C-alpha cells in the first residue's frame, strides 16, 4: 500500500517556510524557499490542472503559487477566497496582503466538509491531481475537519477518475510519531491531542481506508 500512496509529510513547525521545488511538485521532497518571485518558464509545464484544498494557508498558498509559476492551472477551495494571497516564502513578507491572481487560477469559496463544495471543484473539469493542505484551529474548524474533509475529497476524486494526491500532515502523525522531538510529543499528548487524533484518522483514510488505492 505504501508503494501506491505518497503522503506528503511536513512539520508544523516548518510549514511557514516550506515550498515545492520546481522539479518535485507532487513528490515527497521539499526545499525551503527564500527566493523572490520566479519567472514563469513554459518548458517546466506538465499540462496539469491541480485542485488545491486549503489554498489560503501557508503551505496551500505556496503550492498554488508555485504551480501557477510552472504554467499549470489551479482550482482552489478556501473558506474565505479573499485570504488566498501571495505566499511569503516565494514573494516576501510585504506581498502577503496581495491577492493571488492569475488567468490560470480559479478560487471557489466553500467548506471542505461540505460534499457539494468539494464536488464543485472537480466540476471545473480536467482536474489531474490534488493537493490537500488543510489546517486551522480546532476551535474554528471542528475536531474532525481533516478526516471529514479529506473523506469528501477522496469520494469526489473517485467519482471523477482522479488518482494522484499529496496530503500535507505533520511530523508526529501516524508512523512518524517516534520522529517528533520529545517536547513536541508533549504537545501532541496534551494541548494538541484533538488535532493529532484528527490527523491520524486522516492518514488512516489512505493506508487502510477508501483512499488506499490512490497514488
Question: What mean pLDDT is predicted for residues 31-44?
Answer: 37
DSSP 18-79: EE--TT-TTSS--EE----PPPP-GGG----EEEEESTTSHHHHHHHHHHHHTT-EEEEEES
**In Å, how far from its chain's centre is CA 135?**
9
- Grade residue 115 by pLDDT with cuts at 50, 70 and 90: very high
pLDDT of 11 higher than 70: no
How many Å apart are CA 108 and CA 84, to the nearest integer? Answer: 10
Lowest-confidence range among 58-62, 89-93, 186-190? 186-190
- Grade residue 9 by pLDDT with cuts at 50, 70 and 90: very low
Query: To the nearest whole number, what is the mean pLDDT of the chain?
Result: 80
- pLDDT tens figures, 119-177: 999 999 999 999 999 987 777 777 999 999 999 999 999 999 999 999 998 877 877 77
Buried b / exposed e along 187-209 (16+ C-beta atoms within 10 A): bbeeebeebbbbbbbbbebbeee
HSE value, Cβ hemisphere, 13 Å, CA-based, for 98? 13
pLDDT of res. 70: 94
- pLDDT tens figures, 197-211: 899 999 999 999 999
Q: pTM of whole model > 0.85?
A: no
> Which residues are CB-contacts of 182 (< 8 A; sequence separation ≥ 6)?
none
Amino acid at each position: 500500500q505504501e508503494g501506491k500512496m505518497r503522503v506528503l509529510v511536513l512539520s508544523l513547525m516548518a510549514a511557514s517556510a516550506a515550498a515545492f521545488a520546481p522539479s518535485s511538485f507532487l513528490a515527497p521532497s521539499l526545499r525551503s524557499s527564500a527566493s523572490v518571485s520566479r519567472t514563469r518558464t513554459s518548458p517546466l509545464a506538465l499540462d496539469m490542472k491541480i485542485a488545491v484544498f486549503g489554498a489560503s494557508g501557508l503551505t496551500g498558498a505556496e503550492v498554488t503559487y508555485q504551480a501557477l509559476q510552472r504554467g499549470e492551472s489551479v482550482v482552489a477551495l478556501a473558506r474565505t477566497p479573499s485570504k488566498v494571497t501571495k505566499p511569503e516564502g516565494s514573494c516576501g513578507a510585504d506581498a502577503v496582503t496581495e491577492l493571488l491572481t492569475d488567468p490560470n487560477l480559479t478560487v471557489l469559496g466553500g467548506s471542505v466538509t461540505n460534499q457539494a463544495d468539494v464536488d464543485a471543484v472537480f466540476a471545473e473539469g480536467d482536474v489531474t491531481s490534488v493537493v490537500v493542505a488543510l489546517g486551522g484551529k480546532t476551535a474554528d474548524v471542528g475536531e474532525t475537519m481533516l478526516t471529514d474533509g479529506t473523506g469528501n475529497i477522496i469520494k469526489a476524486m473517485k467519482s471523477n477518475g482522479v488518482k494522484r494526491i499529496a496530503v500535507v500532515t505533520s511530523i508526529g502523525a501516524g508512523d512518524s510519531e517516534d520522529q517528533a522531538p520529545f517536547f513536541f510529543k508533549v504537545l501532541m499528548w496534551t494541548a494538541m491531542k484533538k488535532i493529532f487524533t484528527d490527523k491520524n484518522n486522516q492518514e488512516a483514510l489512505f493506508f487502510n481506508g477508501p483512499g488506499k488505492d490512490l497514488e
